[in-house]
Structure 1
Amino acid sequence: MAPPADQSAAEPAPSYGRRVAPSVPTAVPSAEQQPRNCLLVDDSRMIRKVARKIVESRGYVTAQAENGAEALEKCKLAMPDLIILDWDMPIMTGIDFLAELRALNHPKRPKVVFCTTHSSVKDIHQAVDVGADEYVTKPFDEASLLAKLEIIGAS
């Protein structure tokens, strides 16, 4: 007995259970296409807001921390490309944070710019000795912070 006419042109069987090769991108995105991340570490919400506006204007995606301990935890989860760092903060100072950050020996070494009221030569040397890449004193303006980012290749 022949099958009914409507079943003779059967549809293809569904592909349940068949393995399909995953799609592979043809090109790896370049560094210019990857978003750069900046962690703003300051106990002052206003300083974080001003710094955020400046670094976001340069294409950075920002995260924030109010003290060094919070910043260290964020760095352990996802190491940023740039850190804008205050010195005097509760719980953990910027100097203590930076010393612990550099001791992690993470393969990604973020650029660090201290933004602080500490302005003596001794303080600047201490910050650089601990691992800061640049230093700007508060109050800072957009031009001075951008100049420091340019110096360290983070603009």
Structure 2
Amino acid sequence: MKTCMVVDDSSVGRKIARRILEELEFRIIEAKDGEKAVEARKSDLPDVVLLDWDTQVTDGCELFGNLLRLSGGDQPIVVICTTESNIDHISDALHAGSDEYVVKPFNRDAVVARFQDIRDSKISD
């Protein structure tokens, strides 16, 4: 079973993501902000991170850099979650190193479309 860390300052956002991703058979680690994500990441390397680009304490770009600096940090697949549908914003996230993105508010189909291939890939099984 693959592990996904869901980083979102919204408890509702985390809850929705958790329900969808658990249906896809991911084990979920939750973090409400960037600081908590880095702490959780130190003890548990997820296969994938669903990262809200606008988290409290640390923004997504800074958090992304912090996660990558940790040992093995370049291994998780990172899916940026953002309320910004502007192509420049999405481009910035992809250029920062994220592998995918999903625009909030997301629905089940959008998340399944991004995560089904990740679930079925050969990483960390």
Same fold (TM over 0.5): yes
What CA deviation, in whole Å up to 9, does each residue of 1:53-105 have, x standing for no partner?
01101111111101111101111111101111101121111111111212335
Shift of 1:108: 6.3
Question: Structure 2 vs 1, CA of residues 92 and 107 (structure 1 numbering), >3 Å: closer, same or farther?
Answer: closer
Q: Give the Cα separation in 1 of the matches to 2:71 and 2:99.
A: 16
Q: Unmatched 5+ residue regions in structure 2?
A: 121-125
Q: Give the Cα separation in 2 of the matches to 1:49 and 1:131.
A: 26
What CA deviation, in whole Å up to 9, does each residue of 1:91-128 have, x standing for no partner?
11111111121233517611111111022121111111
Q: Output the aligned Cα RMSD.
A: 1.6
After the TM superposition, which residues 54-133 of structure 1 pair with which residues of structure 2 at under 5 Å, given as runs? Answer: 54-106=20-72, 109-133=75-99
Give the stretch that moved more between structures: 38-47 or 84-93: 84-93
For the 8 Å contact 1:84–1:112, the answer to whether it is kept is: yes
The correspondence for 2:108, drawn from 142, 147, 150, is 142
Q: Give the Cα separation in 1 of the matches to 2:105 and 2:20.
A: 14
Shift of 1:150: 3.4
Aligned residues, how many? 120
For the 8 Å contact 1:111–1:154, the answer to whether it is kept is: no
Task: Tell me the residue number matched to 1:15.
Answer: none
More helix by share: 2
Structure 2 letter corresponding to 1:113 = V
Task: Tell me the residue number matched to 1:154.
Answer: 119
Task: Tell me the residue number matched to 1:19.
Answer: none
TM-score by length of 1: 0.71
Q: Which has the larger radius of gyration?
A: 1
After the TM superposition, which residues 8-87 of structure 1 pair with which residues of structure 2 at under 5 Å, given as runs? Answer: 35-87=1-53
Q: Give the Cα separation in 1 of the matches to 2:73 and 2:5.
A: 17
Structure 1 letter corresponding to 2:119 = A
Shift of 1:51: 0.3
Structure 1 residue ranges (4+ consecutive) displaced by more than 2 angstroms after TM superposition: none
Q: Give the Cα separation in 2 of the matches to 1:41 and 1:97.
A: 10
Identity %: 36
